[in-house]
Structure 1
């Protein structure tokens, strides 16, 4: 059976949508996943070893849909234009699943998933942390021994340019602390200045290892925030944009993270203070709110759709 996945991966959007769908494809090994990707970096190593068709524009995408045989179509997009899914439904009778970050939902989707929304009064959509898609590799790092450093990452592309600002205004000024700073696959920063207390992590084989061993993490409010929570890493969160801000506020209300606000309003002096006061905290004990069964729950509903 074929599952088509439509994605956009770019320096502005980042890599989180792709990683989420890639993790789902590894879990559903009995299906043939075909990734239909719009990107500004076709040669990126992120796309190696997957079945991918690079999409040039919307016409190309629709023509590709008409040519391929498939059993399910998944969209994982940052934004959905009004009536977009309705127009796709005119092209195919196959079921459609839409992953969302905003509330731009369509009644024409057969299933809607947004695990950032915690509203349990809505029952016709899959909302809540129980539908988070983690990599199975994360299980190896839940109870790993901590080391004396701070892990920093602002996502696969860092659209706000926070990495460079953090190095110049924070990490380079706090020489008493060791920082391991992740440079994502779609981040162009390759010539950051060297400092004795900073190690740059560029396209590592195993990012979870660096994340899990940290005494403290500083991160954006994307998928990595949930991974840090799951691995019990105390985290200070900075949002790239308004919708990430709502995700971070939810996590802070549950006591999982310390949220410092939007990057454009960031008080770097306050961030320094938070790092110094937060660094020696004992690890946060995760409650039962987040587990690693999201893929299983989604798979059950997905199979019901296919077998209708």
Structure 2
């Protein structure tokens, strides 16, 4: 059976859509599916050689007719656009975060948050049990219970770091006297402002990795993290890493609204203040707020232990497998 996945990635869009859909594609492939991404040609630099490139969304709709299953993880698709796609391909799986597009029709709806959708969605797959993690996370399942004896702060601002937050956070940590030898920076392969971050890390002897295909070793040994709040939220929860999240996009709002009250993480919002356009003093104030909250929790071992336990209860790493099995079961049932 053939599945097509409509998702894009870029510096502006980030890598989250692509990464979580890759996890989903792997799970479907394990069950015998053939999966291909459908990508806007403008974002070809972030595509793979086997992807289908399109110039207009109408081309994506035409391709959907040739597949057994169409998966859409794209904020550019309004409710009307999703309904139009559903008319030509009723075997439609929509990934969603914000639940703000109004009513639309789909065979399946996937959201790892607790949200309620209309009856136009036949099979809502909602809740933390559907969080999509890459297969390498399950491969390190035995390391979830490690003692977190390291004194390492992981800083990872997403695949592209769209607001270029890594450098000002590092500068603020240095200014506050945070031990630089305790910092591990993780940059995406196409991270914004990467050259300046590398230079700062070289001068200050801060550990840095970029473009890792497997990030699990760094996450599994982190004492705490400063992170963007996209799909990385579920990855850090899986390993039980207490985290200060820098919200860099509006679509991260609901996940933080549901996870921060649980007590394993905290957050500071950057996207709502236009961080990349406001005055330097305002930027510094936002970064300082994040760093100060980190300092408050860095030596609080009681809170950290409680946070680890809570976080690990949120995500078991089998979300993609659950989705692929449920969808595949539907097709098998239809054939019989």
Report the TM-score, using the length of structure 2 for normalisation.
Answer: 0.80
Query: Where does residue 182 of structure 1 map in the other structure?
Result: 186
| Unpaired stretches in structure 1, ≥5 consecutive residues | none
Matched, 1:269 2:288: yes
Give the conservation status (yes or no) of the 8 Å contact 1:100–1:113. yes
Give the conservation status (yes or no) of the 8 Å contact 1:119–1:128. no
From 219, 233, 239, the equivalent of 2:247 is 239
Is the alpha carbon distance of 1:54 and 1:186 closer, same or farther for their aligned partners in structure 2, counting shifts above 3 Å?
farther
Is the alpha carbon distance of 1:241 and 1:205 closer, same or farther for their aligned partners in structure 2, counting shifts above 3 Å?
closer
Q: Which moved more, 1:116-125 or 1:194-203?
A: 116-125
Query: Where does residue 278 of structure 1 map in the other structure?
Result: 297
Give the conservation status (yes or no) of the 8 Å contact 2:161–2:192. no
Q: Secondary structure at the match of 1:157?
A: coil
Q: Which moved more, 1:181-190 or 1:57-66?
A: 57-66
CA distance in 1, matches of 2:117, 2:86: 28
Task: Report deviation, 1:171.
Answer: 4.3
Question: 1:25-36 counterparts in 2 under 5 A?
Answer: 25-28=25-28, 29=30, 30-36=32-38
Task: Report deviation, 1:150.
Answer: 0.8
Is the alpha carbon distance of 1:39 and 1:16 closer, same or farther for their aligned partners in structure 2, counting shifts above 3 Å?
farther
Q: Which moved more, 1:159-168 or 1:147-156?
A: 159-168
CA distance in 2, matches of 1:164, 1:56: 35
Task: Report deviation, 1:243.
Answer: 3.1
Is the alpha carbon distance of 1:40 and 1:181 closer, same or farther for their aligned partners in structure 2, counting shifts above 3 Å?
farther
Q: Secondary structure at the match of 1:181?
A: strand
Query: Where does residue 302 of structure 1 map in the other structure?
Result: 327
Is the alpha carbon distance of 1:135 and 1:292 closer, same or farther for their aligned partners in structure 2, counting shifts above 3 Å?
same
CA distance in 1, matches of 2:152, 2:42: 34
Task: Report deviation, 1:124.
Answer: 5.2
After superposition, the CA RMSD in angstroms is 2.7
Q: Which moved more, 1:188-197 or 1:214-223?
A: 188-197
Query: Where does residue 84 of structure 1 map in the other structure?
Result: 81
Is the alpha carbon distance of 1:62 and 1:263 closer, same or farther for their aligned partners in structure 2, counting shifts above 3 Å?
closer
CA distance in 2, matches of 1:206, 1:102: 28
Query: Where does residue 277 of structure 2 map in the other structure?
Result: none
Give the conservation status (yes or no) of the 8 Å contact 2:160–2:191. yes
Query: Where does residue 160 of structure 2 map in the other structure?
Result: 157
CA distance in 1, matches of 2:102, 2:239: 31
Task: Report deviation, 1:198.
Answer: 2.0
Give the conservation status (yes or no) of the 8 Å contact 2:129–2:318. yes
Aligned length: 302
Task: Report deviation, 1:173.
Answer: 4.7
| Unpaired stretches in structure 2, ≥5 consecutive residues | 274-284
Task: Report deviation, 1:118.
Answer: 4.9
Give the conservation status (yes or no) of the 8 Å contact 1:8–1:39. no
Q: Secondary structure at the match of 1:142?
A: helix
Task: Report deviation, 1:85.
Answer: 1.7
Query: Where does residue 313 of structure 2 map in the other structure?
Result: 288
Task: Report deviation, 1:120.
Answer: 10
Task: Report deviation, 1:264.
Answer: 5.1
Query: Where does residue 109 of structure 1 map in the other structure?
Result: 106
Task: Report deviation, 1:179.
Answer: 1.6
Task: Report deviation, 1:204.
Answer: 1.7
CA distance in 1, matches of 2:214, 2:27: 18
Is the alpha carbon distance of 1:176 and 1:264 closer, same or farther for their aligned partners in structure 2, counting shifts above 3 Å?
farther
Matched, 1:96 2:92: yes
Q: Which deviations, in whole Å up to 9, do the C-alpha atoms of 1:166-204 show, x marking residues without a partner? A: 133334653524221221133232312324252222112
CA distance in 2, matches of 1:278, 1:197: 24
Q: Secondary structure at the match of 1:268?
A: helix
Is the alpha carbon distance of 1:61 and 1:171 closer, same or farther for their aligned partners in structure 2, counting shifts above 3 Å?
farther
Question: 1:110-129 counterparts in 2 under 5 A?
Answer: 110-118=107-115, 125-129=124-128
Task: Report deviation, 1:79.
Answer: 4.0
